[in-house]
Chains A and B, each alone.
Chain A
Amino acid sequence: MSALTISFALLFYGATALLIGGLAYRILLYARTPAPLRIPTTPAPLGTPGVAWRMTREVVFFESLFKSNKWTWVFGWMFHLALLLVLLRHLRYFTEPVWAVVVLLQPLGLYAAFAMLAGLGGLWVRRFAVARVRYVSSPSDHLMLALLVLIAATGLAMKYVVHTDIVAVKAFMLGLVYVDWQPLPADPLLLAHLALVALLMAVFPVSKLLHAPGVFFSPTRNQVDDARERRHVAAWAAALEK
């Protein structure tokens, strides 16, 4: 077993632990923090099914962003949808036999990589071209885009420019899953791609990527408009009633 294989195996275990542990911690923190007052942005649904539908529209179609700014919506939605397809396509490297749905999505996943780059490009251009967005952009906003662009670019380069031994890569990944380590090909593009992905996984729970779990805990979106019908006294607020 080469030092390279061992380092990348450990890197991925570490990154996965940070991603899952970090997100679980954050989600637990959000879930445990009380929401002492009803603050849905109205008009809001009057029941749970309505809220589920509101959240679905928000998470699947980015409804509020659509209302706000069509350019940001086009690029943002294109990027996220493409990322989803690309991730689903990548499941082929972690499953044997490959799931039928992943096989079906395979051709779409290839186009999606380009759509992903186009979406990221559009979002990045906005950070420079729109003075208001430029004003609020911090270095990490640019770096996050750079990271995602590099991940997509290295992936595409492996597909279309310098091929890697994809069968060996799959063996390595399955080896990680089943803790039966297999050698990782030492192609620079592959190593760069994997290292960048590991970095993305590691920073996820400590960065603005927290918008992903955050949206599900947003009281203005996930609360039912039932303030007149139900009391919502938080534990710390109940202490005031004594």
Chain B
Amino acid sequence: MAATTFEVPPLREYPVIPILQEDAMAKSRPYVASAPIQHALGFPGELVDGWHDKAIARMGELTAKYRSLKVYLDACVHCGACSDKCHYFLGTGDPKNMPVARQDLMRKVYRRHFTFAGKYFPALVGAEDLTREVLDDWYVYFNQCSECRRCSVFCPYGIDTAEITMAAREIMDSIGMGQKYSNEIIGKVHRIGNNLGLPGPALEDTLAGLEEDVKDDTGADVRFPLDDKGAEVLLVTPSADFFAEPHVDSLIGYAKVFHAAGIRWTMSSHASEAGNFGMFIGNYEQMRAIAMRVREAALELGAKRIVVGECGHAWRVAYSFWNTLIGPFDFLDSRYPVPQHICEVTHDLIQRGALAFDREANDHRVITFHDSCNVARASRMGRIPGGQFTIPRAIIRAVANHFHDMAPETIREQTFCCGGGGGLLTDELIDLRVKGALPRVEALKAVVDEHGVNFMATICAICKAQFSKVLPYYGFDMSMVGGVHQLVSTAIRLSPHG
């Protein structure tokens, strides 16, 4: 770990709302995207001439295209209900990380240009021009929102800061002020096929290696097929699953489930990525283009079902947006939901008695479950609302003996973001990421102390990467975090040649 240049907040037994510390995070800003990165996505390479007028014009277009943005910019009454709900505010005390204040960075400009009161009585309603300083504030603080939607749960009007952050990033991209991390990754998806830039042949090697590892471990011929035409299931998973720790253990888990259930499945080198960073930058066209690879892959491979691996925002895009963006899916088997989450697949198989487990294999683990924000508040699993909470927990209980939930106000739809979502999982934001993880880590510490929890399961590639990185700052071992299918993998019974 590199020398820490910031203060890691202490973990408290009884968290309190922080005292405001103005500009505490004013210096935290991600690298700006270079011209080549921007150009690859069709965005200007640097801040354009006349950026002010172009930004205002873009804002006008977006408020005409998105009802959410229009209504949310109008409806806020500054009641403060959201003000203590954002993990970044709770971890940093910076008032501009209160959701209402973050929204107001855009709202004050919206009011100045698009409302009667703001045009004629700007001081009265806090309307302001989009100066260079305000634009810099946008860049800093709209890159301190992980689009986790916790604020929207508590807002009396359901105002979702994520919608405003996405619009702000879209406006900034359109005037040449893109964020390097997200935009570089989107470029990689288009160029190579996945966020990590893993080319097809390397992927093939990696998967062959996994087959050998699992054979050595279990003696079973569990396959990891790539581009297998005629397979029933196309699995689309975050590319971190191919080699990052602990992600890969969940990929092994998916493979074992398919193996044990006798389902012929495949991954695709064309769509070797479930993640869709187009959502993070609020760009519909990018989101659609990235998603379209999955439709193309399913058609090309003749798959009958599409299953998505453990990934939070990817599941949001898949569950909530795919049908609209790249549907209709009339070429797939209509007996299954499209898309289907890997947890839905595993849960269904467990319900049908198609899988057998040695739960004792997980007895060295005392497990808790971290609800990933985008799964919790922007998607569903199964047939009833809240299935996204009950299904992963039911799987854990089916494969392990020791499970304890964290405090109720920190799980399910009130869950805290890991602190690294929404395009912020980049090293230059480590200060923000560590502090943003504080509310989750405090809740984790409570169950560690009370129940001896030593494993936090989650179903998101970003959560896994983020916690692996930040847990050590708080004195926890990075191997405490892992996937739900990592637990499945440990306990599942395999027939040697199934």
Please indicate the chain B residues that have their CB under 8 angstroms from the CB of A58 in the complex: 156, 158
Q: Does B88 contact A (CB under 8 A)?
A: no
Q: Most chain-B CB neighbours within 10 Å: which of A45, A136, A206?
A: A136
| Other-chain contact of B124, A131, A138, A230 (Cβ < 8 Å) | A138
Instruction: Give the complex CA separation of A210 and B83 in angstroms.
Output: 20
| Chain B residues within 8 Å of A29, by CB | 70
Q: Does B496 contact A (CB under 8 A)?
A: no
Q: Which residues of A contact B75 (CB under 8 A)?
A: 208, 210-211, 214-215, 218
Of A36-44, A88-96, A102-110, A146-154, the one contacting chain B is A36-44
Is there a chain A Cβ closer than 8 Å to B255's Cβ? Answer: no
Q: Does A65 contact B (CB under 8 A)?
A: yes
B115-A64 in contact (CB<8A): no
Given contacts A214-B157, A220-B152, contact A64 B377 (CB under 8 A): no
A46 vs B19: C-alpha distance when bound (angstroms): 40
Map CB proximity to B onto A26-61 as digits: 1 under 8 Å, 0 otherwise: 100110011111110111111000000000001000
Question: Which of A26, A220, A232 is within 8 Å of B160, CB to CB?
Answer: A220
Whether A143 pairs with B124 at a CB distance below 8 angstroms is: yes
* In the assembled complex, B354 has its CB within 8 A of some CB on chain A: no
Stretch at the interface among A1-9, A179-187, A191-199, A233-241: A233-241
Q: Does A219 reach chain B (CB closer than 8 Å)?
A: yes
Contact among A30, A225, A237 with B70 in the assembled complex (CB-CB below 8 Å) = A30
Q: Which residues does chain B contribute within 8 Å of A123, judged by CB atoms?
A: 79
Contact status B284-A68, CB under 8 Å: no
| B residues in contact with A42, CB < 8 Å | 376-380, 385, 388, 413
- B20 interface hit (Cβ, 8 Å): yes
Are B377 and A41 in contact, CB atoms less than 8 angstroms apart? yes
Given known A33-B66, A42-B376, contact A67–B80 (CB-CB < 8 A): no
Q: Which of A136, A218, A225 contacts B385 (CB 8 A)?
A: A225
CB pair A230–B323 under 8 Å, yes or no, is yes
- Point out the residue from A36, A72, A135, A218 that lies within 8 Å of B98, measured CB to CB: A135
Q: Mark B57-85, 1 if CB is under 8 A from A, else 0.
A: 00000011111101110111111111111
Instruction: Kindly state whether residue B15 has any CB partner on chain A within 8 Å.
Output: no
Which residue in B70, B155, B327, B339 is a CB contact (below 8 Å) of A231? B327
With A214-B71, A219-B68: A65-B152 Cβ-Cβ less than 8 Å: no
Let me know if A132 and B95 touch, CB within 8 A: yes
In the complex, chain B residues 169-206 whose Cβ is within 8 Å of any chain A Cβ: none
Q: Mark A168-189, 1 if CB is under 8 A from B, else 0.
A: 0000000000000000000000
B67-A219 in contact (CB<8A):
yes
A72 touches B80 (CB 8 A): yes
B residues near A37, Cβ cutoff 8 Å: 284, 320-321, 324
Give the shortest distance, in Å, between B482 (CB) and chain A (any CB). 25
Confirm or deny: B149 has a beta carbon within 8 angstroms of a beta carbon on chain A. Answer: yes
Partner of B157, one of A33, A45, A218: A218
- State the interface size on chain A (CB cutoff 8 A): 64
* Cross-chain contact A38 with B81 (CB below 8 angstroms): no
Q: Is A114 on the interface with B (CB-CB < 8 A)?
A: no
| Whole-angstrom CA separation of A204 from B413 in the bound complex | 33
Q: Which of A42, A138, A225 has the most chain B CB atoms inside 10 A of its CB? A: A42
CA A214 to CA B284, docked complex, whole Å: 24
Chain A neighbourhood of B98, CB < 8 A: 132, 135-136
Chain B: residues with Cβ within 8 Å of the partner, total of 71
A27-B93 Cα distance, complex, nearest whole Å: 37
Rounded to whole Å, the gap between the CB of B179 and the closest CB of chain A is 21
A139's partner among B20, B80, B124 (CB-CB below 8 A) is B124
Q: How far is the CB of B249 from chain A (nearest CB, A)?
A: 28
Report if B123 contacts A (CB, 8 A).
yes
A220 to B75, CA, bound (A): 13
Which chain B residue shows the least CB distance to A41?
A: B152
Residues on A with beta carbons closer than 8 Å to the beta carbon of B413: 41-43
B-contacting residues, A201-233, CB 8 Å: 203, 206-208, 210-211, 214-215, 217-221, 225, 227-233
B219 at the interface (CB under 8 A from A): no
Nearest-CB residue, chain A, relative to B85: A68
Residues in B with CB closer than 8 Å to A130 are 80
Contact B81 A227 (CB under 8 A): no
B386 on the A face (CB < 8 A): yes
Whole-angstrom CA separation of A130 from B20 in the bound complex? 11
Cβ contacts under 8 Å, B285 to chain A? 240
Are A228 and B338 in touch, CB under 8 angstroms?
Answer: yes
A123 to B72, CA, bound (A): 21
Known: A131-B19, A232-B324. A41 touches B160 (CB 8 A): yes
Whether A217 contacts B67 by the Cβ 8 Å rule is: yes
CA distance A227 to B324 in the complex (A): 8
Bound CA–CA A218/B64 (angstroms): 15
Q: A230-B323, A231-B323 are in contact. Are A141 and B68 (CB under 8 A)?
A: no
State A69–B83 Cα separation when bound (angstroms).
10
Q: Does B14 contact A (CB under 8 A)?
A: no
Interface 0/1 of B392-432, CB less than 8 Å to A: 00000000000000000000010000000000000000000
Is B211 part of the contact surface with A, judged by Cβ < 8 Å? no
A39-B78 CB under 8 A given contacts A135-B98, A140-B126: no
Residues in chain A near residue B152, CB distance under 8 A: 41, 220
Q: Determine the distance from Cα of A35 to Cα of B68 in the docked complex, in whole angstroms.
A: 7
Q: A42 to B388, alpha carbons, bound, how many Å? A: 9
**Interface contact B76-A208, CB-CB below 8 Å:** yes
Q: Which residues of B contact A140 (CB under 8 A)?
A: 117, 124-126
The reply on A76 being an interface residue by CB < 8 A is yes
| Chain B residues whose CB sits within 8 angstroms of the CB of A34 once the complex forms | 65-67
Given A136-B104, A240-B285, do A35 and B66 touch, yes or no (CB 8 Å)?
A: yes
Cβ contact within 8 Å between A131 and B20: yes
Least CB separation from A219: chain B residue? B68
Q: Of A67, A138, A143, A237, which contacts B78 at CB under 8 A?
A: A138
Q: Select A33's contact among B70, B78, B339, beta carbons within 8 Å.
A: B70
Min Cβ gap B147→A in Å is: 11
The reply on B54 being an interface residue by CB < 8 A is no
For residue B327, which residue of chain A has the nearest CB?
A231
Contact of B77 among A64, A208, A225, A240 (CB under 8 A): A208
Specify which chain B residues have a CB less than 8 angstroms from the CB of A44 in the assembled complex.
380, 385
Question: Can you list 15 A-B contacts with CB-CB less than 8 angstroms, sorted by A residue number?
Answer: A33-B65, A34-B65, A41-B160, A41-B413, A42-B413, A64-B158, A67-B154, A68-B154, A136-B101, A140-B124, A206-B117, A211-B156, A214-B72, A218-B158, A240-B284
Apart from the given pairs A33-B64, A38-B321, A132-B80, 10 other A-B contacts in the complex at a CB distance below 8 Å = A30-B70, A33-B71, A35-B67, A41-B158, A68-B155, A133-B79, A138-B125, A140-B126, A225-B385, A232-B324
Closest 7 CB pairs of A and B: A214-B75, A138-B126, A43-B385, A68-B154, A220-B158, A133-B80, A68-B81
